[in-house]
Structure 1
Amino acid sequence: MTAGVTDGRNDRERKKQIILGVFLSGVNHHTLWADPEAGSQIAFSTFEHVARTAERGRFDFFFLAEGLALRERNGLIFDQDVVGRPDTLPVLAALAAVTEHLGLVGTLNATFNEPYELARQLASLDHLSGGRAGWNVVTSFDAFTGQNFRRGGFLHRDDRYVRAGEFLAAARRLWDSWPADAIVADRAAGTFLRDGGAGAFAFSGKQFDIEGRFTTPRSPQGHPVILQAGVSPQGRDFAAGGADAIFSPYHRLDEAQEFYRDIQARAARQGRPPGSVKILPSASFVLGDTREEAEERQRDIAHRQVTGRTAQILLESVWNRDLSGYDPEGPLPDIDPDPTGPPVIRGRAVLHQDPHRTVAEWRALAAANDWSLRELAIHVFSRTEFVGTPAQVADRIDDFVQRDGSDGFILGSHLVPTGLDEFVDTVVPLLQERGSLRTEYTGSTLRENLGIPPRTAS
């Protein structure tokens, strides 16, 4: 090869490979369930269509977000929410039968479950899927949600990471209780145990004191892939130490790069090798034949997602006041938030720790841009990050990942179940042409496809 001439094939091989997941939210205002093209939010055909489309696009995994309680406003169920979503694990188990390569990741709560039961269910899913199970570990300190469970809402907010840390450690102890060679397959005698001690475990901590025998043999991945989210220093340390992938809330490149570097540094300080933790923001997309067409579509979608009533409710989650008397097309409320009053909204995750500071920032934004209450809500609660032609969206995704803003994205669509089809048909081929996205699956497990080192028995 002539000096100075670049081998294009080698350039493609050296490019960072983009991780792609697809998510279906639980309770949310983003899904346009009333759209004429929308399908059922609970029929299995919906989940199957999205999963098969993602696998056709060589995505890494299908992800189910979940809510454990129907959200309420002043005691009444939100009529903006999708409700009635089936339980996560049966859906993922059913999808294992209609997919071959796609990872199957579920949001499962460490506050209201028990290690033995959940570890057994996840190991079973890993067996049934041939090593494609993943667990998004979440916590809750919400007494409203806790009323659905035996413990109620007793868990103090400061203790949620203590319990989650012990929960994950206990689950790993259970998964490691079976050596890889503990099962012997014999055609004449059937399958039997080589080691009568397999499955024995004991774990003792502040939250759990358990011992016994784990009934489920070591699964194909050893440990399912673990996903977590953490923005606070405590949350970042917890995720960097125990997760294989972390949800990032940052979409601006400079902030995303800082978060990426910080998480990798925290993981290294905890003795983890480079590449052990993948960073994955969630995002949505709107495509068009031109940028102008895509932007017009995005404006229409955003205004259907955030109606005037929805805008009032979204802001009530921060103000903690009844804002139904304020005109959605008028200015922001002139009253201060009331964080210590009885909750107006129940069952929604707390996204803003300092309501007074958040409201001050929003007022400055609204004044600077001449935004109404509704326009502000559209801008601050929107997650549509990729708007443009397929080529423009492919360029933005590729650039963001190659510059270590993330390792990929978890994509959602306003239209269920067919919204992902357009992305797979038009953007995926362009990413494949760039050498940034696989054209075929190369691993047999989710962990292998993600490029995450295996977890060894502790």
Structure 2
Amino acid sequence: MSTPAKPRKQVILGAYVGGVNHHTIWSDPAAGSQIAFSTFRHVATTAERGRFDFFFLAEGLALRERQGRIFDQDIVGRPDTLPVLAALAAVTEHLGLVGTLNATFNEPYELARQLASLDHLSGGRAGWNVVTSFDAFTGRNFRRGGFLAREQRYERAGEFLAAARQLWDSWPADAIAADRDGGAFLRHPDAGSFAFSGEQFDIQGRFTTPRGPQGHPVILQAGVSPQGRDFAAAGADAIFSPYRTLAEAQPFYRDIQARATRLGRPPGSVKVLPSASFVLGDTEAEAVERHRDIARRQVTGQTAQILLESVWNRDLSGYDPDGPLPDIDPDPAGPRVIQGRAVLHQDPFATVAEWRELAAARGYSLRDLAIHVFGRTEFVGTPAQVADRIDAFVQQDGSDGFILGSHLVPSGLDEFVDTVVPLLQERGSLRAEYEGHTLRDNLGIPTPAAHTPVAGGPAQIWLSPPST
């Protein structure tokens, strides 16, 4: 008897706007504002036209600095995430609205209420990428959480998410009923009552916002260490993946699914989503040449210097960006040269040694290395080639989809929607129309039952890496 064919997976797509950084060519004449609502509206409505699952907005709570001065690779001015998402709810109908929101500097009651309100306003399309703070530099703006020890930040964030879930569950799904005169009354007089006590929070009262259309907003997290993978498999609806090649991504995907299954969750409960970019051309050669030009404009000599300074923690301005790597060792114990950027490499000596081997093997300059190691998953080719590669990556369980960003804001996504999306739809890998009403519906993630604890309990919570 032949084995039944594996069902074709639907490709999950998110549209990413992260502000000015080395992925965005802010100096391009066609680039628009990074903070105007028209930019967010254009990206979101384009994504909805392409039947994407959600719009994703990153967050920056401090302007990044180099040796005490703001550097021009960053955005000067960052709007608050929630008002932008709430405004986008009014100009979209189906698109999920996901924001990065910090658990270190907010309070459970306040943020749970804001997210529940967004879920109501959008008809069930809210999502939350949970992050913690990572440095006292950012904490100076708040004079509180940035000075927590690392383990306390995670303790606080774990309790924060557990408390938020209790608040969202404090209203039974059938708490409100209509009366004959068109009004409403409470079926449950104790609706909204809550009490939560832990090491970080001791709160009680009555939550003002009824249970949202999704029950809980969709929760996105990340975790690469063994402990992080376990915690994310227990508590996340979707997890970010840092792996750019199929060979690296497949073991991570299998591991996350196996951990989630061992914790009692149904197969496919945790969606795995790497970030990615794309470069298109009429021919593959044209796309490759265009990609090379874009990469060199994304990572200027100064940008390459700053990216490597985040690991070396030394002033590298005296080194030629198109010359060899610095011949000095990192100085992790010294004053931070770069402030406000997440430290993604925990062992700078091992990282630099690995980079020197890579540069020697491939003949990389300082700038070439920065382009290689600080890039995202990249799909380069004709629209048909890019559609093939995205689909193959998902069908072969490298991921469940991608969070796509473009080098050009806000119009860069248009080309993908106009040329690649129809090809994915033709092969049945991307919806032609939205079928669900909520973000959970469209992602294929079940709505949590009211008053049902999350698998693993509140202790098994893991957080995304900090926002940058």
Corresponding residue for 2:138?
145
1:392–1:196: structure 2 CA closer, same or farther, 3 Å change rule?
same
1:267 equivalent to 2:260? Answer yes
1:228 equivalent to 2:228? Answer no
1:152–1:223: structure 2 CA closer, same or farther, 3 Å change rule?
closer
Corresponding residue for 2:29?
36
Q: Which whole-Å deviations, capped at 9, do the CAs of 1:317-336 have from their partners, x for residues lacking one?
A: 00000000111111110000
1:160 shift after superposition: 2.7
Aligned letter for 1:218? Answer: R
What secondary structure is seen at the aligned counterpart in 2 of 1:246? strand
1:14 shift after superposition: 2.9
1:155 shift after superposition: 1.4
In 2, Cα distance between the equivalents of 1:29 and 1:114? 32
1:449 equivalent to 2:442? Answer yes
1:242 equivalent to 2:235? Answer yes
1:100–1:187: structure 2 CA closer, same or farther, 3 Å change rule?
farther
Tell me, yes or no, if the aligned pair for 2:145 and 2:153 is still in contact at 8 Å.
Answer: no
Of 144, 161, 169, which aligns to 2:162? 169
What secondary structure is seen at the aligned counterpart in 2 of 1:202? strand
Structure possessing the higher relative contact order (Cα contacts under 8 Å, 6 or more residues apart): 2
In 2, Cα distance between the equivalents of 1:442 and 1:402? 21
Tell me, yes or no, if the aligned pair for 1:328 and 1:374 is still in contact at 8 Å.
Answer: yes
Q: Which whole-Å deviations, capped at 9, do the CAs of 1:267-304 have from their partners, x for residues lacking one?
A: 12222111211000000000000111011111111111
Over the matched positions of the two proteins, sequence identity in percent amounts to 84
1:93-112 matches, within 5 Å, as 93-112=86-105
Aligned letter for 1:340? Answer: A
1:234 shift after superposition: 2.5
Corresponding residue for 2:412?
419
Corresponding residue for 1:188?
181
Q: Report the more deviating stretch, 137-146 or 307-316.
A: 137-146
In 2, Cα distance between the equivalents of 1:444 and 1:343? 47
1:207 shift after superposition: 1.3
Corresponding residue for 1:402?
395
Corresponding residue for 1:304?
297
Q: Which whole-Å deviations, capped at 9, do the CAs of 1:395-435 have from their partners, x for residues lacking one?
A: 00000100100000000000001000000000001001111
Tell me, yes or no, if the aligned pair for 1:412 and 1:420 is still in contact at 8 Å.
Answer: yes
In 2, Cα distance between the equivalents of 1:298 and 1:275? 34
In 2, Cα distance between the equivalents of 1:193 and 1:42? 42
In 1, Cα distance between the equivalents of 2:86 and 2:161? 21
Q: Report the more deviating stretch, 406-415 or 159-168.
A: 159-168
Corresponding residue for 2:327?
334
Corresponding residue for 1:133?
126
What secondary structure is seen at the aligned counterpart in 2 of 1:297? helix
Of 9, 12, 18, which aligns to 2:11? 18
Corresponding residue for 1:370?
363
Q: Which whole-Å deviations, capped at 9, do the CAs of 1:35-86 have from their partners, x for residues lacking one?
A: 1111111111111111010001000000001111110110001111123121
Name the TM-score, length of structure 2 as normaliser: 0.94
What secondary structure is seen at the aligned counterpart in 1 of 2:315? coil
Of 204, 208, 211, which aligns to 1:215? 208
Name the TM-score, length of structure 1 as normaliser: 0.96
1:384 shift after superposition: 5.0
In 2, Cα distance between the equivalents of 1:370 and 1:84? 38
1:53-68 matches, within 5 Å, as 53-68=46-61
Q: Which whole-Å deviations, capped at 9, do the CAs of 1:180-206 have from their partners, x for residues lacking one?
A: 111123362623322220000011111
Aligned letter for 2:273? Answer: L
Of 200, 206, 210, which aligns to 2:193? 200
In 2, Cα distance between the equivalents of 1:377 and 1:353? 17
Which consecutive unaligned segments of at least 5 residues does structure 1 have? Answer: 5-9
Aligned letter for 1:370? Answer: G
In 2, Cα distance between the equivalents of 1:434 and 1:142? 46
In 2, Cα distance between the equivalents of 1:111 and 1:100? 32
In 1, Cα distance between the equivalents of 2:182 and 2:285? 68
What secondary structure is seen at the aligned counterpart in 2 of 1:14? coil
Tell me, yes or no, if the aligned pair for 2:177 and 2:186 is still in contact at 8 Å.
Answer: yes
Corresponding residue for 2:457?
none
What secondary structure is seen at the aligned counterpart in 1 of 2:147? coil
Of 256, 261, 264, which aligns to 2:249? 256
CA RMSD of aligned residues (A): 1.7
> How many residues get paired?
451
In 2, Cα distance between the equivalents of 1:327 and 1:150? 39
1:67-86 matches, within 5 Å, as 67-86=60-79
